[in-house]
Chain A
C-alpha cells in the first residue's frame, strides 16, 4: 500500500533555534496517526511544513509516493492535504456553504453567483460525511463542534486525502467529542489519513491507531496506540534524562501564608480552585495549554471577572475587582504576552518602569519629576542588568529577556509582595533564561511570594518549591518540589480529565 505521507530526515531552523532535528513521520490511508509531545516539541512546525506554511531546510517529503515540495497552503491543498487549525478560521456572518466555497464560488455568466449550485454542492459533501447540516445556516449560529464539522467539510471539498487536525477537541464537550469521533471514523473508512495532534491521553486510546512522539524538535518513536500503556507514552514525551541537580526546596515551615485562594470559580475555565502560597515560596503552576492557569492568575489579579472565590492576602480578605485593587493589595502580574499586556512598547524604559508607580513621582497638580524617574530607572537597569543604551530607549528595541526585566523592575518598584509570573521565559533565549531564574530565586529569598506558571516542565522542576497542577480548569493536585516529584507525576495530573477520573473511580 502506498503511504499517503512519508517524511524523513526533516530539518528546520529558525533564527537561534534548531526547531526540527531529522524528524520522520508517515501516514497510511485509513489511519488516525496521533502526534504527541509537550508544548514546543515541534509538532506544529512539522505539520506546518507538511501543509506548505513553512519550508523545510532538509529531508525528504513524499506524498502518495511522489516527491513533493509544497511552498504554500494552496499548493498543499492541491496535493490533497487539508489542515484544520486549533483556532477555527470561519467567517461567522456567512452561511455554511459560503464559508466552504469561499474564493471559488460556483458562478454564472457575468460573474453572478450561483447560489443553487453552491448549496447543492455543499449538501453533497455533507451527505458524503453522513452529516445533517443546513448549507444555508449561518456559521456564527452553530456550536463550536458543528463549526469544526464545517472546517472538515471545507478541507474535504478540496478532495483532501490527508487531514491534519490540531487539537480538534480543545473547545468541545464530551458529547461533541463523540460526534467528532463518529465523523473521523467515517473518514477513516473511506481511506482518508488523519494526523491527530492532541494533549489528551484518553482520546488517543479511543481514536488513534498509531502514536508518534516528539520531544525538543526530535523524533522519539512511533508506537501502536492500543498496545502501548499511557505511562510509556508520557515517559517518551518527557524523556528520562534530568540535566540539572534536583532543586532542594527551602524549609518554610515557619513562614506565614501570604496568599490564600479559596473556591475560585468562573464558568468552565476555572472550577473551584483553592491553594495557598507562603512568604518566600515559589509555587509552580504546571499543566497543558488551556488548563486554565492563566485564567486563574488573571482572575486573582482582577484582570478578568470571577464568579466566586475568596482571596486572602496576609490573612486579610481582599476584594479584588480590578487590577488596580490587586496592585493595592500588593499583587503584581507579569503576563506571558509582554508586548500586549506588560509593556507600552513605544515608550521609554524609564516610563515603563514607572508605569505602575507614577504616583511616587507626582508632585502637586500632577507634575512629574522626570529626574527622579530617571534615577530610579537607572538603579534598576544596574540592579537587574538590563542591557539598554539608556533609560530613554524605547522598550520595543530591547531583546525579550531585557523586556522581561523591565516588567520585573516595574513590579519591584511598586513593591508588590506577591508576584505572579506567567511563562516568564517565553521568547527568551537560553542565556537570559537562567538569569531570570536566578532573579526569581533571589526575590523569593528576599521574602517575596512567587507564583510561576509555565508549560515547560523542566522550568517548573527547576524553580518550584511546590508544584500545583491543573487540568481543564481544575486543580488536580499539589506536588512537592525537588527530587520527590518526577515529570511523569506532573503529566499524570495534567492529563487527569474528568471523564478519565470517573473511569478510575468505578474501577476501584
Chain B
C-alpha cells in the first residue's frame, strides 16, 4: 500500500523533471528575456533584417547541435561535428567543382561522407570500446587533416555550380511570402530538427538512443544489439553534419578547409543550454534549437550594442556555466 501513496506523493515532481521540461522552459524564458532586453537597448535589434541575420547565423550551428544532441543523449559526446562539417563541404567541392558532377550528386556525396565518418566514430566507440571523447577527438583531427590534404589547403569555390549558393542563401519562403525572406538555410535547419525530433520520439532508433543513455547495460541485457544501434546513431549524426557541410559551403559559396575547429564546442554549448544532460538519457531537439538561438541572439545582440568581440566570448562562456548550474541545482532539489 505504501507504494501507491509514494507514487502519488512523487507525481508532481515527475511532471517537472520530464525530459528536462523545466530547463527547456528556463531556456525559452531566457531567450525571450534576451530578445526583449536587446530590443530595449537598441532600436536596430528588432529589425526584420537583423532577425533574419540571427536565424541565418543559427542555421549551421543549429544543424551541428542537432547532430551532437543525438550522440549526447546516448551518453556519448561528439567532438568531430565541426571538422566533419568542413570535410563534407570539401567532399562536395571535389565532386562538384573538380569532377563537375551535378548538384544533387554533390549534396548526396557530402551526406554519405558524413554518415560514413559517423559510422567510423560509432565503430570506434561501440566495437573498439574507445571512450567517445577520445574516439571523436581523434576523428576531429583526422578530418581536419584530411580536409586540408584533399583540398590542397586551398578553398574550393562553387562558381561553376549554378544554384549551389541558393541552397542556403535563397529563400523559398520569400518567394511565397515576400514579407518573410527567410533563407533556405533556416528552412533546412527546421526540417532537420523536425526529422530528428520525429526520429527521437517515434522510432526504435530514437527509443534506443534514450535507452542507451539511460542504462546501456540494462539494454544490452535485454538482448538488444547495443553496439549496432550505437553505430547507427553516430552514423545518423554524421549524416546530419554532412547537411551542415552543405549549408556552410553554400553560404560561403566555397569549401574552406581551414574552417571547422571550434564549431563542435559551440554546438555542444547549444545542446547543454537547451537542457540535454551530458550524462545521457535526457534531452530534446527543441531545447537544442532554443540553445542555438540563445547563442546566436547573444552574439548578434552584443555586436549590435558594439560590445567588443572579446567580451562576447566571455559572456557566452558565463551563460554556459549558468545554464548548466541551473540544471544541476534543479536536479539536486528534485533528486
Query: Complex formed: what's the CA distance from A361 to B202 in Å?
Result: 11
Among B1-33, those with CB < 8 Å from A are: 2-4, 6-8, 10-11, 14, 18
Q: Which of B8, B219, B224 contacts A389 (CB 8 A)?
A: B8
| CB-based contact A397/B14 at 8 Å | yes
Contact check, A345 vs B225: say whether CB atoms are below 8 A apart.
no
In the complex, the answer to whether A351 meets B207 with C-beta atoms within 8 Å is: yes
- Cβ contact within 8 Å between A344 and B202: no
Question: In the complex the two chains form, what is the Cα distance from A367 to B207 in whole Å?
Answer: 10
Q: CA of A184 to CA of B205 in the docked complex: distance in angstroms?
A: 57
Chain A residues closer than 8 Å to B3, beta-carbon distance: 387, 398-399, 401-402, 432
Task: Say yes or no for A183: interface residue by CB 8 A criterion.
Answer: no
Per-residue contact bits, chain B 191-205, to A (CB 8 Å; 1 contact, 0 not) = 000000000001111
Is the pair A393, B215 in contact by a Cβ cutoff of 8 Å? no
Q: Which A-chain residue is minimally distant from B216 (CB atoms)?
A: A344
With A398-B3, A399-B2, A399-B3 given, is the CB distance from A367 to B222 under 8 Å? no
Bound form: Cα–Cα A347–B73 in Å: 13
> When the two chains form the complex, which single residue of A323, A343, A346 contacts B223, counting CB atoms closer than 8 Å?
A323
A322 at the binding interface (Cβ < 8 Å): yes
What's the Cα separation between A367 and B198 when bound, in Å?
9
Is A324 a contact of B218 with CB atoms below 8 Å? no
- Over the window 393-427 of chain A, the binary record of Cβ atoms lying under 8 Å from chain B Cβ atoms (1 yes, 0 no) is 11001110110000000100010000000000000
Interface residue from B4, B18, B205, B210 paired with A366 (Cβ < 8 Å) = B205
- Listed by A's residue number, 8 A-B pairs whose Cβ atoms lie within 8 Å are A324-B223, A342-B218, A342-B221, A356-B224, A358-B204, A393-B7, A397-B10, A429-B2
- A333 contacts the other chain (Cβ, under 8 Å)? yes
Q: Which residues of B are found within 8 Å of A25, using beta-carbon distances?
A: none
- Across the interface, do B11 and A356 meet the contact criterion of CB distance under 8 Å? no
A362 at interface (Cβ–Cβ under 8 A)?
Answer: yes
User: In the assembled complex, which residues on chain A have CB atoms less than 8 Å from the CB atom of B222?
Assistant: 323, 327, 355-356, 410
Closest to B17 in A: A394
Query: Does A177 have its Cβ within 8 Å of any Cβ on chain B?
Result: no
> Are B217 and A387 touching (Cβ within 8 A)?
no
Cβ contacts under 8 Å, B221 to chain A: 301, 303, 323, 333, 335, 341-342
Q: Does A388 sit within 8 A of B, measured CB to CB? A: yes
12 further interface pairs, Cβ-Cβ under 8 Å (given A303-B220, A323-B221, A326-B223) = A324-B225, A340-B215, A341-B217, A345-B215, A346-B215, A351-B210, A355-B219, A366-B204, A368-B204, A388-B7, A393-B14, A399-B3
Complex CA distance for A77 and B225, rounded to whole angstroms = 49
Main secondary structure of the interface of B (DSSP, over half): helix
4 tightest Cβ-Cβ pairs between the two chains A and B: A327-B223, A399-B3, A344-B214, A356-B222
Chain B residue nearest to A410 in the complex (CB): B222
Query: In the assembled complex, how far is the CB of residue A300 from the closest CB belonging to chain B, in whole angstroms?
Result: 13
CA distance A75 to B221 in the complex (A): 43
Contacts A322-B225, A323-B223, A370-B202; A347 near B210 (Cβ below 8 A): yes
Taken together as a complex, chains A and B put the C-alpha atoms of A373 and B207 apart, in Å, by 12
Closest to A416 in B: B223
Pick from B6, B14, B211: contact of A351, CB under 8 Å: B211
B7 close to A397 (CB less than 8 A): yes
- Give A400's nearest chain B residue, CB to CB: B3
Of A322, A335, A358, A399, which is within 8 A of B208 by CB? A358
Residues of A within 8 A of B10 (CB): 397
Closest-CB distance, B278 to chain A (whole angstroms): 14
Within 8 Å of chain A (Cβ to Cβ): is B144? no
Q: What is the interface of chain B, defined by CB distance below 8 A to chain A? A: 2-4, 6-8, 10-11, 14, 18, 202-208, 210-211, 214-215, 217-225, 281-282
Interfacial chain A residues near B211, Cβ < 8 Å: 344, 347, 351, 355
Given contacts A355-B222, A399-B2, contact A362 B204 (CB under 8 A): yes
Q: How far is the CB of B212 from chain A (nearest CB, A)?
A: 9
CA of A506 to CA of B78, assembled, Å:
64
Query: Could you tell me if A358 and B207 are in contact, using CB atoms closer than 8 angstroms?
Result: yes
In the bound complex, how far is the Cα of B6 from the Cα of A187, in angstroms? 51
* Distance, CA A343 to CA B222, complexed state (A): 9
Residue numbers in B under 8 Å from A394 (CB-CB): 14, 18
A328 part of interface (Cβ distance < 8 Å): yes
Residues of B within 8 A of A332 (CB): 223
Find chain B residues with CB under 8 A from A370 CB.
202
| Complex Cα–Cα for A27 and B70 (A) | 59
B219 touches A344 (CB 8 A): yes
Which of the listed residues B205, B210, B224 has the most CB atoms from chain A within 10 Å of its own CB? B224
B202:A368 contact, CB within 8 angstroms: yes
Assembled-state Cα–Cα distance A427/B214 (Å): 21
CA distance A234 to B208 in the complex (A): 49
Cβ contacts under 8 Å, A368 to chain B? 202-204, 206-207
Q: Which residues of A contact B2 (CB under 8 A)?
A: 399, 429
CA distance A368 to B222 in the complex (A): 18
Query: Which B residues touch A355, using CB under 8 A?
Result: 211, 218-219, 222, 224
Instruction: Name which residue of chain A comes closest to B199, CB basis.
Output: A366
Q: Among A328, A344, A402, A414, which residue has its beta carbon within 8 angstroms of that of B215?
A: A344
Chain A 279-311, CB-CB to B under 8 Å as 1, else 0, gives: 000000000000000000000010100000000
The proximity string for A residues 41-77 relative to B, scoring 1 for CB distances below 8 Å and 0 otherwise, is 0000000000000000000000000000000000000
- Which of B8, B14, B215 has most chain A Cβ within 10 Å? B215
CB of B195, distance to nearest CB on chain A (Å): 12
B203 neighbours in A (Cβ, 8 Å)? 362, 365-368
Output the nearest chain A residue to B335 by Cβ-Cβ distance: A396
* Cβ contacts under 8 Å, A359 to chain B: 204
Which residue, of B214, B215, B218, has the highest number of chain A Cβ atoms within 10 A? B218
A402: which B residues are within 8 A, CB to CB?
3
In the complex, how many angstroms separate the beta carbon of B199 from the nearest chain A beta carbon? 8
| A414, B224: Cα distance in complex, Å | 12
B215: chain A residues at CB < 8 Å are: 340, 343-346
* A358, closest chain B residue (CB): B204
| Chain A contacts for B204, CB-based, 8 A | 358-359, 361-362, 366, 368
Q: Distance (Å) between the CB of B78 and the closest chain A CB?
A: 21
